[in-house]
């Protein structure tokens, strides 16, 4: 994806999109991570007799792999984003070494490697001697700095300006802002330190009031003063792709393009590695895959009592007859009574308050939802609700339900409710 260029004196606004992981990248990065295992295999053969060292080796391998899976520590290979990386590092070098102001927005779905990319670039940048002495970095995150006031204090804190004592920042918002702008405006291209601003969760900054911070930052980067690089990372614009990726992730591990799901899957498989079971087998991975692809709502339905299942079936029938119109407790109870009275199902003849308690339990589990907020005056039995399970989910859950009474199951499959 080629970056778009904006007009403007000395400013280049680039949009980098990390390419979607292709299958090869996926597997090769996975192999890269797992290469540690082969290493252990070799060394353990040599230390056959020494059991203590074997477990220590295993502990080391666990430690390394856990750091890679869980802590997302940097490894030297970048898969699939080399072009973007070259572009980014060039941009940053121009700011750091030649004093040019720049801004970059990195867009990509969640888990596509944006943070990894920028961390890598910064690491390489800091290895150049003249850069590490001069350049200042400010790391901001949209989740932490939720308004401009906090953001400004954080910037002054990280830049260690004069109004910072220890960890505390003094002064009001206006004072801090003018202080910061002064400090950044004072220098000129040749003598002042370049500053790199990294804004994670960039879209959240765009929601701040008046967008003061962003406005000022980009303003500074445009005017010919302290060289400033603003790097934004966001996943917002790729939302549609993200949703479908999420859906697929749940089911097929092969089709997914998210490296993190691979990490999670491998982590699940890694759990099974102990001193008695030192090597990961295919069975481990398959079980891990199954764990990954469980349907959580079906699990919740599995744990309901028989009365609650009957209520769900009654709601299903109501949905079928009245075409998904909202219902209330009285209607559900009525439908349930039709079942109880027919064919002498007296074992299910519970009192109305008992059935109400089961209904409220379903509401607590968020399997049914009220259409509007509960008002104090409304009677609970007449409040309109909606069922949040569809027919296929209900029938699948019923199949797996343990010791389901036959008459209940038959009632579920019958479509003739007036019998």
Q: Which residues bind another protein (CB under 8 A)?
A: 59, 62-63, 66-67, 69-72, 109-110, 115, 141-146, 150, 154, 167, 203-204, 235-236, 239, 242, 246, 260-261, 264, 267-268, 271-272, 274, 294, 296-297, 299-300, 302-307, 328, 330-331, 334, 347-348, 350-351, 353-354, 357-358, 364-366, 377, 379, 381-382, 402-403
Of 34 and 365, which has the nearer Cβ to another protein? 365
Closest separation in Å from C-beta 101 to another protein:
27
Of 12 and 260, which has the nearer Cβ to another protein? 260
Of 134 and 330, which has the nearer Cβ to another protein? 330
Q: Would you say 64 and 93 are in contact if contact means Cβ atoms under 8 Å apart? A: no
Question: Helix (H, G, I), strand (E, B), or coil: what is residue 107?
Answer: strand
* CA pair distance 385, 327, nearest whole angstrom: 5
Closest separation in Å from C-beta 59 to another protein:
6
3-state secondary structure 121-138: HHHHHHHCHHHHHHCEEE
Of 183 and 365, which has the nearer Cβ to another protein? 365
Closest separation in Å from C-beta 403 to another protein:
7
Closest separation in Å from C-beta 186 to another protein:
27
Closest separation in Å from C-beta 114 to another protein:
12
Residue 190: partners with Cβ closer than 8 Å, 6 or more residues away? 99
Question: Hunting for tokens 């400004």 — which residue is that?
Answer: 152
Residue 192: partners with Cβ closer than 8 Å, 6 or more residues away? 186, 225, 226, 227
- Other C-beta atoms lying within 10 Å of the C-beta of residue 212: 16
Closest separation in Å from C-beta 337 to another protein:
11
Closest separation in Å from C-beta 9 to another protein:
34
* CA pair distance 197, 195, nearest whole angstrom: 6
Closest separation in Å from C-beta 258 to another protein:
9
Residue 339: partners with Cβ closer than 8 Å, 6 or more residues away? 310, 314, 345, 348, 411
Of 185 and 243, which has the nearer Cβ to another protein? 243
Q: By CB neighbour count within 10 A (0-12 exposed, 13-18 middle, 19+ buried), where does 95 fall?
A: buried
368-370 and 385-387: which strand pairing? antiparallel
Of 158 and 222, which has the nearer Cβ to another protein? 158
Of 101 and 261, which has the nearer Cβ to another protein? 261
Of 189 and 345, which has the nearer Cβ to another protein? 345
DSSP annotation string for 320-386: HHHTT--B-HHHHHHHHHHHHHGGG-GGG---HHHHHHHHHHHHHTTSEEESSPPPSSS-GGG--EE
């Amino acid at each position: 994806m080629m970056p778009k260029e904006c007009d403007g004196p000395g400013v280049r606004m680039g949009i980098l999109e990390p390419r979607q992981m292709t299958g090869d990248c996926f597997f090769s990065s996975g192999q890269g991570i797992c290469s540690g295992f082969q290493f252990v295999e070799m060394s353990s053969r040599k230390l056959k007799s020494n059991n203590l060292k074997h477990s220590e080796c295993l502990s080391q391998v666990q430690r390394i792999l856990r750091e890679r899976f869980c802590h997302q520590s940097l490894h030297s290979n970048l898969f699939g984003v080399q072009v973007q990386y070259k572009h980014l590092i060039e941009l940053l070098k121009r700011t750091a070494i030649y004093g040019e102001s720049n801004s970059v927005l990195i867009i990509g779905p969640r888990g596509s490697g944006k943070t990894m990319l920028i961390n890598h670039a910064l690491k390489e940048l800091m290895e150049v001697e003249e850069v590490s002495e001069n350049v200042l970095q400010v790391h901001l995150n949209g989740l932490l700095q939720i308004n401009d006031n906090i953001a400004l204090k954080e910037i002054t804190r990280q830049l260690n300006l004069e109004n910072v004592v220890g960890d505390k920042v003094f002064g009001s918002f206006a004072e801090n802002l003018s202080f910061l702008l002064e400090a950044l405006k004072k220098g000129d291209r040749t003598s002042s330190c370049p500053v790199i601003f990294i804004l994670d969760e960039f879209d959240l900054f765009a929601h701040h009031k008046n967008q003061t911070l962003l406005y000022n930052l980009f303003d500074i980067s445009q005017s010919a003063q302290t060289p400033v690089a603003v790097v934004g990372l966001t996943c917002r614009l790729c939302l549609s792709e993200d949703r479908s990726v999420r859906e697929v992730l749940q089911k097929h591990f092969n089709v997914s393009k998210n490296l993190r799901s691979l990490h999670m899957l491998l982590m699940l498989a890694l759990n099974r590695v102990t001193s008695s079971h030192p090597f990961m087998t295919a069975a481990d991975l398959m079980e891990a895959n199954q764990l990954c692809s469980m349907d959580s709502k079906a699990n919740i339905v599995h744990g309901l009592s028989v009365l609650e299942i009957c209520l769900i079936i009654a709601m299903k029938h109501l949905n079928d007859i009245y075409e998904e119109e909202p219902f209330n407790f009285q209607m559900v109870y009525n439908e349930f009574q039709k079942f109880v009275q027919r064919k002498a199902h007296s074992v299910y003849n519970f009192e109305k308050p008992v059935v109400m308690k089961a209904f409220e339990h379903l509401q607590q589990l968020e399997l049914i939802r009220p259409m509007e907020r509960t008002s104090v005056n409304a009677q609970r039995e007449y409040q309109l609700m909606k069922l949040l399970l569809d027919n296929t989910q209900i029938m699948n859950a019923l199949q797996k339900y343990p010791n389901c009474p036959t008459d209940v199951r038959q009632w579920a499959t019958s479509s003739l409710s007036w019998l």
